[in-house]
Structure 1
């Protein structure tokens, strides 16, 4: 009995080592992980590079000043240090994107797995709902729903520790961008439910919920993780676009809010490229990082996509 446990443990270690070896051999994985780690560290510990957010305002009154040794990314229209705003904005933007992605993955996986496994009328109705969210652009839905929900919730109170606007944006993005994952999970579930290990579980007396959770879901994790990068990138762009249109929280600096303030100040018309360029570049780099990591995971989990030199 002891020997069996040891051999299983060795197999597990061997499989994990093989996975990381294959994953890290992908050039895009290194680029994506390096850039993402940098931004995650800044979001978690902004004091490594800048001071507290309250110190962003300057005493010199340099409005829309160009980058120099004192302000590496210049200042905004009221004299605040742009680098300070960008670094502190990373926390809000990444928090919203990751939490919205978690909601999307949970909803999409649940709908897709339930639809693919049960079949019949649950499959028909769930896929009709999924098709609606798939056909209508998620950003358009979020743009229509967010103002209405904000009006209902109100901006004057906090929910679960978040300001209402941030909480609403997280939920709206999460509930409007799950259809992509649901369709992928359903197609995988249709294949998995015909496998022998599912038949053996049925014969052993397992109910449908137990089979889906214990046998099908673990086999869906690689596919969901590989496509999660695209969901995060979409969430970042959606949050940025909503905040740019004025639906964000002006008291909580995110990259989208900074772009909104830069547009309000006419930064583009006066040539203050650093004001809108810095947060815009951060959005692009972080989104690209998640896409590269997702592609690397897809190549690792799917041997047919690997490029053999």
Structure 2
């Protein structure tokens, strides 16, 4: 009975997020973009349809004006929100899953397997990210959202896996893990039910940063013209706005909204991550309360 209490205690302390203004604000911002990504394109209509003149300013009929070809900026913005959010979430899930496999298995098992995983992580970390992404994105013909997400996740899992590995190496020597091992539980069950729940804040923080990195990386690549010639993301909108001389023409309604959306989503995710940091570090919690 004592062993069961010991096993449950660390998990109860680590599960859950701190209730703070930063967390509520961050969740509200991210929730807004999630709703927009799901429902926005259904209400926006065809982003390629010609609905106005050349660079018409915002009006009652066109809330965000039109592009240089007469397309609705609002329709393109709502459609691009789904594309950018999809890339961020898919890349975040893939990168987090890879970092969990490498970090948890390697950190718990140790030995040659941990050394092999560590070597793989170190090699991935020293690869120049931007040139590799530009090369792969330019080489791959199918540059859809899932392709971008896969490419970005391949180079973004190594850093979080090192953090997870360090946490696992600390947790594997705890009393409740030793008790589970002595009781005859197999290694996979210990990793899944004893170690993994205690990594919840670390996993959540890694996922949040992976989403931020994926959205920013894709936006940067698309803004450089490596988005496959599509406006299905915020970066693609910025690319076509730049090509259409929106800045020199004073058409702020074309490039400001996608830039603001990128900044707002990054702010919301960062606020969530700060709240997770407060959960992991009690000193930050005390400082925020003071």
TM-score computed with the length of structure 1 as normaliser: 0.82
Structure 1 residue runs without a partner (length 5+): 1-7, 156-163
Structure 2 residue runs without a partner (length 5+): none
TM-superposition CA deviations, 1:222-275 (whole Å, max 9, x none): 211133222111110011112222332445621111111112212223222221
Q: Which secondary structure does the structure 2 equivalent of 1:206 belong to?
A: coil
Determine the C-alpha separation between the residues in 1 that align with 2:16 and 2:177: 25
Residue 169 of structure 1: which of 148, 166, 187 is its match?
148
Residues 87-98 of structure 1 correspond to what in structure 2 (within 5 A)?
87-98=78-89
Determine the C-alpha separation between the residues in 1 that align with 2:136 and 2:249: 34
Return 203-212 or 183-192, whichever deviates more: 203-212
- Report if the CA contact (8 A) 1:32-1:289 is conserved: yes
- The equivalent of 2:197 in structure 1 is 218
Residue 68 of structure 1: which of 59, 65, 71 is its match?
59
Q: Which secondary structure does the structure 1 equivalent of 2:120 belong to?
A: helix
- The equivalent of 1:52 in structure 2 is 45
Q: CA deviation at 1:55?
A: 7.4
Determine the C-alpha separation between the residues in 1 that align with 2:47 and 2:244: 21
Determine the C-alpha separation between the residues in 2 that align with 1:57 and 1:241: 27
Determine the C-alpha separation between the residues in 2 that align with 1:277 and 1:178: 31
Residue 235 of structure 2: which of 248, 251, 256 is its match?
256
- Report if the CA contact (8 A) 2:44-2:74 is conserved: no
Q: Is 2:111 the counterpart of 1:120?
A: yes
- Report if the CA contact (8 A) 2:41-2:82 is conserved: no
- The equivalent of 1:37 in structure 2 is 31
Determine the C-alpha separation between the residues in 1 that align with 2:74 and 2:182: 62
Q: Is 2:27 the counterpart of 1:27?
A: no
Residue 109 of structure 1: which of 85, 100, 111 is its match?
100
Determine the C-alpha separation between the residues in 1 that align with 2:263 and 2:49: 24
Determine the C-alpha separation between the residues in 2 that align with 1:242 and 1:54: 21
- Report if the CA contact (8 A) 1:141-1:176 is conserved: no
Determine the C-alpha separation between the residues in 2 that align with 1:118 and 1:140: 34
Q: CA deviation at 1:56?
A: 4.7
Return 76-85 or 29-38, whichever deviates more: 29-38
Taking a change above 3 Å as real, the CA distance of residues 55 and 240 of structure 1, as seen in their structure-2 partners, is closer
Q: How many residues are aligned here? A: 279
Determine the C-alpha separation between the residues in 1 that align with 2:135 and 2:110: 32
Determine the C-alpha separation between the residues in 2 that align with 1:100 and 1:269: 35
- The equivalent of 1:202 in structure 2 is 181
- Report if the CA contact (8 A) 1:166-1:249 is conserved: no
Determine the C-alpha separation between the residues in 1 that align with 2:147 and 2:129: 15
- The equivalent of 2:268 in structure 1 is 289
- Report if the CA contact (8 A) 1:233-1:288 is conserved: no
Return 217-226 or 103-112, whichever deviates more: 217-226
Return 265-274 or 190-199, whichever deviates more: 265-274
Higher relative contact order (CA 8 A, sep 6+): 2
Q: CA deviation at 1:71?
A: 1.9
TM-score computed with the length of structure 2 as normaliser: 0.87
- Report if the CA contact (8 A) 2:222-2:235 is conserved: yes
Q: CA deviation at 1:213?
A: 1.8
Aligned CA-pair RMSD: 2.5
